[in-house]
Chains A and B, each alone.
Chain A
């Protein structure tokens, strides 16, 4: 788990976005397949390139993308020949999530899902910034310049 994983991480980023008057993209990632992960990661990393804040809140099946095994298995939604074609052009979901993280995309894990599925912080990939709940998500999404999408 990264050193930056504190309870105040999400709140601190909301406050800094407000001060800077930045637009932000807040995605809810509720699906665990790579067909859903790629569009979310593309939008979030592009938002960062455009100078926006970007957050992805992984919840329910989306939380599978935050485990090492689930992230690998996310490509199973594609047939093998398509997996090969994608791999030739695109980074893997794992590599893409690492790139997103390096670009400053905030990766949030969902607390209720962890409870429901018996997951632990220690079992999550190290790109995770913090574990948050519905109230923190709603605060992120309530930013006046936030664009929110449920995927």
Chain B
């Protein structure tokens, strides 16, 4: 049954690899199963890095979009 989900937000714009992943990972680890983390980033490496992070850790990447140079990701704690 779906519960109201908490959406934590992390603005990583202006940060470059590895900081968006390291900081997002640290925040995600404080969340619980099903809770989501929204990340905004403008590092061009972010789309492939967040996808790889999701595959390696098993935390699902629910959304990965781009709008005018800003990437938006939604990670969910597994």
Contacts and interface: CB of A to CB of B under 8 A. Distances in A.
Interface residues of B, number: 11
A50 interface: yes
A51 B18 contact: no
Interface residues of A, number: 9
A24 interface: no
Interface string A128-150: 00000000000000000000000
A19 interface: no
Contacts of A89: 16
B17 A42 contact: yes
Interface string A92-104: 0000000000010
Which of A42, A49, A51, A89: most chain B CB closer than 10 A? A49
A59 interface: no
A42 B57 contact: no
A49 B25 contact: yes
A30 interface: no
Interface string B2-42: 00000000000000111001100110000000000000000
A45 B53 contact: no
A46 B57 contact: no
A103 B21 CA distance: 13
Nearest to B29: A49
A42 B52 CA distance: 15
Given A45-B22, A49-B26, A50-B52, 17 more contacts: A42-B17, A42-B18, A45-B18, A46-B18, A46-B21, A46-B22, A49-B18, A49-B21, A49-B53, A49-B57, A50-B53, A50-B56, A50-B57, A51-B57, A52-B56, A89-B16, A103-B22
11 contacts: A42-B17, A42-B18, A45-B22, A46-B17, A46-B18, A49-B18, A49-B21, A51-B56, A51-B57, A89-B16, A103-B22
